[in-house]
Amino acid sequence: MDQLVIRGGRPLRGKISISGAKNAALPLMAASLLTEETLTLDNIPALDDMTTMSDLLTSLGAAVEEVEGSNRGRTLKLTARPPLSTVAPYEIVNRIRASVLVLGPLLARTGQATVSMPGGDAIGIRPIDQHLKGLEAMGAKIELKGGNVIASAPGGLKGATIRFPFVSVGATENLLMAATLAKGTTIMENAAREPEVTDLAQCLVAMGASIHGIGTECLVIQGVDALHGANHTVMPDRIEAGTYAVAAAITGGELVLDGANVEHLGSVFESLAKAGVNISNGLGKVRVSHPTGRCRGFDVITHPFPGFPTDMQAQFMALMAVADGASLITETIFENRFMHAPELARMGADITVHGSSAMVRGNPRLRGAPVMATDLRASVCLVLAGMAAEGETVVNGVYHLDRGYEKLEEKLRAVGADISRTQDDRAIVP
């Protein structure tokens, strides 16, 4: 089992290039199922989740080819020529929940789709009822059998009006893709406005889809008979950028985040600035710094975009764990997303969890300790805390990190972090 070994107390200084966004690349890859022509995606991050999605698409009969591309990220050519399998195999689907994103496009393209129910994970039960209700509203017949969702629409999907009771990124993406080939018009109200949804919508328009209201909570999709191929560059990863902004602040250093899109980070940077972090931006680069690593305590509540993102909650908690003062962090999106709190407490953090809120009282002297990562963002939270702590921190469960952060230790080492990956208890000397 890989571990990361971190020795704290070193301010980070330098430039970090921001990779393509995992949570944009996954639905974009699934969108390749909507056409028999080739979809070329640039700036794909080299992450385990991309490999799993490639494996899934290949198992359905699509061709996924990596080609020489631009100097940012990987370039994939995806071609889903008929005949396509309509069964997404359990042994692949259970590796990433985002596999459910093939359900909508596969059903819209072939009239049939069998996808294993994605299990929950550490942060919550994560049901897909809104995905299924939306597809039923579009005329699909949905059967749950043997742990699979069996969806059929032999005569094709039809446009419908879908009003989401709450914001769901995945349901918005699944139904948006399905609606592009439905007969008639689909109106989606209370749709997610996350930049990853906008990135997907813009790619679908490039593929010939008719979508209005992109970036708003009301999407109107006029179904078309077929989509064609396109070229699309994956947006930069706003959560990776926010994570490294916290890394600069918590270590009392200064980082330039190269390639970050500041329009995606409004609420994150607003909260960091109110906590005392210095942020300046220009020409696609964002400079983030803090003189001491001890910010002011500041309260945040997670909300759907453009609110403070739930995927930055754990990282912010690490920053507040060493802040000057107290902070109240409230998680409104997932029911169990404070698993990093007890691990931070092992390092001396003073955190009290009350239901969906956590009171964090800053302690400037965290101490390194062996800790266990429970999910993707919790793992990077522990790396951040380890860089601010005295002594050595060993983060176990590093496979979580490899799902969502491209070359994390290389990027951090290049700006001064003392971090190495061990296998079989030996540190690999960089």
**Which of 128, 200, 257, 329 touches ligand EPZ (CB under 6 A)?**
128
**Residues 188-207: x/- map of binding to ligand EPZ (CB under 6 A)?**
--------x-----------
Sheet holding 210-212, edge to edge: 161-163, 185-189, 218-222, 210-212
The residues in 14-73 that bind ligand EPZ, with binding defined as CB under 6 A, are 23, 26
Give the CB-side neighbour count of residue 326, counting CA atoms within 13 A. 8
334 binds ligand EPZ (CB under 6 A): yes
Residue 249 binds to ligand EPZ (criterion: CB under 6 A): no
* Phi, psi (degrees; rounded to nearest 5) at 86: -110, 15
Residue 189 is encoded by which pair of tokens?
């109200």
Give the one residue of 45, 170, 362, 386 binding ligand EPZ; rule: CB under 6 A. 170
Q: Which residues contact 299 (CB under 8 A, 6 or more apart)?
A: 327, 328, 329, 330
User: Among 165-173, 182-190, 248-256, 417-425, which window interacts with ligand EPZ (CB under 6 A)?
Assistant: 165-173
CB of 138 to ligand EPZ, least distance (A): 15
- Cα separation, 169 vs 174, whole angstroms: 9
Q: Does 129 bind ligand EPZ (CB under 6 A)?
A: yes
Q: Pick from 130, 180, 243, 313 the residue near ligand EPZ by CB under 6 A.
A: 130
Nearer to ligand EPZ, 331 or 409 (CB): 331
Of the residues 69, 195, 368, 404, which one makes contact with ligand EPZ according to CB under 6 A = 404
Residue 103 in the binding site for ligand EPZ (CB under 6 A): no
For ligand EPZ, the closer of residues 310 and 393 by Cβ is 310
Q: Strand 357-361 to strand 350-354: parallel, antiparallel, or no bridges (unpaired)?
A: antiparallel
CB neighbour class for 355 (10 Å; exposed up to 12, middle 13-18, buried from 19): exposed
Q: Which residue in 79, 168, 267, 393 binds ligand EPZ (CB under 6 A)?
A: 168
Distance CA 123, CA 337 (A): 5
Count of all residues that appear for the chain in the document: 430
Q: Judged by CB under 6 A, which stretch of 122-130, 175-183, 338-346, 361-369 contacts ligand EPZ?
A: 122-130
